[in-house]
Structure 1
Amino acid sequence: MDPNEMRYLEDDDTPTMKTIKGATMGLVTGTIWGTIVATWYDVPRVEKHVALPGLIRTLKMMGNHGLTFAAIGGVYIGVEQLVQHYRMKRDFVNGAVGGFVSGATILGYKGRNIKTAISAGAALAVTSALIDSGGQTTRIDTGKEYYPYTTKKRSTVEG
């Protein structure tokens, strides 16, 4: 195995921590999305003296979307990390497998249909593979290694 590739497998974050972060990010994103969807659909106007039913429906929609996104994020990252560990490679295949499994299990379960499960899994797998293979990343590896430094002044040695 290439030593440069090993560096990516030795991240500070453990696979468990990455999975928790993925699920948490999904929860936050889904809750925000549920709030937006609740303002567009399904929630009745809040009347002057009858605010509770609208609030309850909004909270249910926020929670439903939040938990769905959290499950998708957690399963996606967890499977991606598992595949990466067993393959000992970091490429687009890991994300594609994670996308397929998360789409097929979570969205297939919600749709209660095999056709929906396969469609959702394929859609997430293709999206993940396109993003990963296209090099869409927030970090660019320039090959430079950065070391921690101190702000202490060096003592001058006369000699």
Structure 2
Amino acid sequence: MEDDKYARMDPDELRNLGEYDTVAFRTASAAGSSGLVGMILGAITATWQDVPAVERNVALPALKKTGKIMGNYGLTFAAIGGLFAFTDAVAASIRGKKDIWNSALGGAAAGSVIGLRAGKLPVGIGAAAALAACAVIVDAGGQTVRTPTGREYLPYPRINPDL
């Protein structure tokens, strides 16, 4: 039966994501989700900043300013998330193992984006060190903020109930 096949499989085989574990997919999904979070944060920031007043029922100046802030935040976050995922995935493929050093390299690369955005070398070095340390702490903690429940969540169901 199907149950027996999955019961005999190694947990690493069960977690094999196949085509979803490529460098391109990981980079694109990280950049996309990070960019979306950045745009939401940009929209929140735009509500707290002074935007041009709406005059004579013309909202275009305020809308342009809000869109610009959202775009800047979105692009920055997309670059940070995408560069982290790209560096992490490339380091794992070059080194042949997935460990905390890949995340440390990814965090350092992502921190460099903040330094480039600020235009200051000390900011870049500090951000690279901080993001590398955060990535190592998350990896060392098992990449989760919850306590283990004993249940394993797979990206797809083991048995399709519709069959």
The answer to whether the 8 Å contact 1:35/1:61 transfers is yes
Residue 122 of structure 1 pairs with residue 129 of structure 2:
yes
- Over aligned residues, Cα RMSD in angstroms? 2.9
Out of 123, 143, 162, the position equivalent to 1:136 is 143
What is the CA deviation profile of residues 75-124 of structure 1, one whole-angstrom value per residue up to 9, with x for unaligned ones?
000000011111222222211110101111x1111111111110111111
Cα distance in 2 for partners of 1:98, 1:5 equals: 26
Relative to the length of structure 2, the TM-score reads 0.77
Cα distance in 2 for partners of 1:42, 1:125 equals: 34
Q: CA 1:77/1:71 → structure 2, altered by over 3 Å: closer, same or farther?
A: same
Aligned partner letter, 1:148: I
Per the TM alignment, residue 137 of structure 1 is displaced from its structure 2 partner at its CA by 2.7
Out of 71, 75, 80, the position equivalent to 2:88 is 80
Q: CA 1:5/1:101 → structure 2, altered by over 3 Å: closer, same or farther?
A: farther
Cα distance in 1 for partners of 2:11, 2:161 equals: 29
Give the equivalent residue in structure 1 for 2:48: 40
Structure 2 unpaired stretches of 5+: 1-9
Q: Which has the larger radius of gyration?
A: 1
Q: CA 1:92/1:48 → structure 2, altered by over 3 Å: closer, same or farther?
A: farther
Per the TM alignment, residue 7 of structure 1 is displaced from its structure 2 partner at its CA by 4.2
The answer to whether the 8 Å contact 1:5/1:90 transfers is no
Cα distance in 2 for partners of 1:136, 1:65 equals: 25
Cα distance in 1 for partners of 2:14, 2:162 equals: 29
Equivalenced residue count is: 149
Give the equivalent residue in structure 2 for 1:156: none
Aligned 1:7-26 pairs, distance under 5 A:
7=13, 10-12=16-18, 13=20, 14-26=22-34
Out of 106, 110, 128, the position equivalent to 2:117 is 110
Aligned partner letter, 2:17: D
Cα distance in 1 for partners of 2:124, 2:110 equals: 9
The answer to whether the 8 Å contact 1:107/1:120 transfers is yes
